[in-house]
A and B are shown apart, each in its own frame.
Chain A
Amino acid sequence: MSALDALGAPTAPSAEPTGEAGLGPWGAAWRRLRRNPSGIVGAVIVALFVLVAVLAPVLAPYRPATGEWFGQVTPTSVPGPSAEHVLGLDSFGSDLLTQLLYGARSSLVIGVVSTAVGLAVGAVLGILAGGLGGWVDTVIMRVVDVLLSIPSLLLAVSVAALLGRNAVSIMLAISAAQVPIFARLLRASLLAQRGQDYVVALRSLGLRQRRIVVGHMLPNSLGPVLVQATLVLATAVIEVAALSFLGLGAADPAVAEWGRMLVTAQDRLEQAPQLAVYPGLAIAVTALGFTLLGEALREALDPRSDR
């Protein structure tokens, strides 16, 4: 420990209790999170996003993608904000605000499901690789390496193109890119913990290997997994939009989706820039929210960050 490390705990002996009596590492992390301004901002954004997505039918003034007011749209203009339509119309004649709100839904559902699938599959692979070692580990990790070597968007595009234009294939496509991330994470976490004294101590107490992994090592991996999942969700939101933008999204035009809104806004960019700005902002802000939250979680869960 260099002299400068001593600055980490100026008046404390080997690791001070910080007055968080009775709080487990989760409780202490929660406290740290609460004090982190960018984390709060991120959490608020994420909360809003989830609320909007869940409550879209309640919040939206109209039904989505009806194209009812198509008559008001001309080749040279798209109606802007008015009394009946707070944000105006889109180029198909649907209420823009409604489209935006329902768009949050697709992003949320697809994002969450694909992350969950990616996590589940990746975690299983990672645990097998880290737990069993040997040739199982080698085979799994080489597959993971191949997947990681392909840029995630490209991978998602390839899978989506193969599986067709429906919501399920989008989810699988996005999760394909996430599997290797979680696999590596879990494997690394298991391997790192295996060398730690506390695992040796549990063995010396006579605990069986399975109990040590399930009851101790996995719960200790939860923190990094949670952080990674949050960050991955940010990418997922962008990727959902990107896939739609590229025309690989759901074929049904009635489904409101931010990426598709961006595509169709291209034609009308000069006349009605708001058609691109609103969905673009929505994507950016949502992704930002998840990223801020994820980074704040990472800091909060790091036992060494004495902030």
Chain B
Amino acid sequence: MTAGPREAADAPLLQVRGLEVHYPIRSGLLKRTVGAVQAVDGVDLDVARGSTYGLVGESGCGKSTLGRAVLRLTEPTGGSIRIAGEDVRAMGPEALRRARRQMQMVFQDPLASLDPRQSVESALVEPLRVHGVEGGPSAWRTRVRGLLDRVGLPAGAGAKYPHEFSGGQRQRVGIARALVLDPDLLVADEPVSALDVSVQAQVLVLLQELQADLGLTYLVIAHDLAVVKHMSTTVGVMYLGGIVEEGPSAQLYARPLHPYTRALLSAAPVPDPDVEATRERILLRGDLPSPADPPSGCRFRTRCPWVQPTRCADERPQLRIVAGHASTQRVACHWAEEIEAGTITRADAA
């Protein structure tokens, strides 16, 4: 996939508009569609070349589905995806297969994402062979060995099988595999959540180094706010299929605007007893609504501590800029200004 002549050098590498992934619910003898699980419901996002976009949210928000949909590992049901200016959704099967060289995925569970009967070297050489990368078998093996070394695996790792590695090492194998075709875009779906805490930092640092060395663009999907903060230039917070707030990492964490973001941040444990003792806790009520039957208007309103009788149930808020904040931070909330100013109080203020 080569860049077209019109593409400006600073156009985002990944451009998503109105992305939808709806799973039909079929019922009855005739299997009629009675509804849809709206896993992803109208998402726009831009990821600049060389940067990291962090997508954060809890289970059921659709972030993993979004990550797979961007690579068309799950088929989107609506919207557009452009990578380096090319429309990924419009590609036929063969073109898509070739395009996959440019966009790769790092999976959450490295054990489940590697074929157990394949040695590491074989698993990494196979894509090179399948795509007919120039060089031939011995060049490929050299390249693979170099890559394994670059991700911090000991010599001879190539001959081993996935179950022989520790969790952190297996994740390095997964990263090496994602890089073997020399992609531009890497989608990392919970890259460290299956790892021990002391090893998570190793992998995060590795990912950052690789990004700097190879000029990679990342879409990092995680539920851990601290991990996302550390990795990302821009952060998007997802709730029930949509992005509710988006902005530069430091700003979003310092001054969150959306009630859900505030609640998330107040709930994230911090290894500092003074912070934990003095911080404000915003507790949400109730449970996550079903994505098959989301609330009308603002989807967060059933749990929002600041919910208002007007507008929240009728209009679905769109991402917008808030007065007094940078134009790069956008919130999908009707009352963001009032909440920040304190003119609306929380229902559960303790």
Chain A residues packing against B (C-beta within 8 Å): 13-18, 20-26, 28, 196-198, 200-208, 211, 216, 219-220, 303
Contact across chains for A198 and B112 when beta carbons are under 8 A apart: yes
A201–B113 CB distance below 8 A: yes
Question: Chain B at the A interface: mostly helix, strand, loop or mixed?
Answer: loop
Q: Given A205-B130, A207-B130, A211-B130, do A24 and B100 touch, yes or no (CB 8 Å)? A: no
Say yes or no: A220 contacts B130, CB within 8 Å.
Answer: no
**What's the Cα separation between A203 and B97 when bound, in Å?**
8
Among B131, B160, B161, max chain A CB count under 10 A is at: B161
Enumerate B88-146 residues with CB–CB distance to A below 8 Å.
Answer: 97-98, 100-101, 104-105, 107-109, 111-119, 126-127, 130-131
Known contacts A22-B161, A24-B161, then 10 further A-B pairs from the complex at CB < 8 Å, ordered by chain A residue = A13-B166, A17-B163, A20-B164, A22-B164, A25-B117, A197-B109, A205-B100, A206-B127, A206-B130, A216-B118
Judged by a CB distance under 8 angstroms, whether B214 is at the interface is no
Contacts A14-B167, A303-B116 given: A204-B130 contact, CB under 8 Å? no
Number of interface residues of B (CB under 8 A): 40
B166 to chain A, nearest CB (A): 6
* CB pairs A–B below 8 angstroms (22 shown): A15-B163, A23-B164, A24-B117, A24-B119, A25-B161, A25-B163, A198-B113, A198-B116, A201-B105, A201-B114, A203-B73, A204-B73, A205-B130, A206-B97, A206-B98, A206-B127, A206-B131, A206-B181, A207-B126, A207-B127, A216-B115, A220-B116
Tell whether A206 pairs with B101 under 8 Å between CB atoms, given A26-B117, A201-B114, A216-B115.
yes
Cα separation A22 to B100 with both chains bound (whole Å): 31
**Residue numbers in A under 8 Å from B127 (CB-CB):** 205-207
Instruction: Indicate if the CB atoms of A21 and B164 lie closer than 8 Å.
Output: yes
Q: Answer whether A14 and B195 are a contact pair too, CB < 8 Å, given A25-B163, A198-B112, A201-B177.
A: yes
Do A22 and B159 touch across chains, with their CB atoms under 8 A apart?
A: yes
**How many whole Å from A27's CB to the nearest CB in chain B?**
9
Question: Could you list which residues of chain B lie within 8 angstroms of chain A, going by C-beta atoms?
Answer: 68, 71, 73, 97-98, 100-101, 104-105, 107-109, 111-119, 126-127, 130-131, 159-161, 163-167, 174, 177, 181, 194-196, 199
Nearest-Cβ distance from residue B203 to partner chain A, whole angstroms? 13
B94 to chain A, nearest CB (A): 9
Task: Give the residue among A197, A207, A211, A220 with the most B Cβ atoms within 10 A.
Answer: A197
Knowing A13-B166, A13-B167, A25-B161 touch, does A200 contact B194 (C-beta < 8 A)? no
Known A-B contacts A13-B167, A197-B107; the reply to A22 vs B117 at CB < 8 A is no
Task: Indicate which residue in A18, A21, A207, A211 contacts B160 across the interface (CB closer than 8 Å).
Answer: A21
Q: Which chain A residues border B114 with CB–CB below 8 Å? A: 198, 201
Inter-chain CA distance A303–B114, complex, in Å, is 14
Return chain A residues, CB-CB under 8 Å to B165: 17
Q: How far is the CB of B310 from chain A (nearest CB, A)?
A: 45
- Residues of A close to B109: CB separation below 8 A: 197
A208 to B194, CA, bound (A): 29
Cα A150 to Cα B330 in complex, Å, equals 65
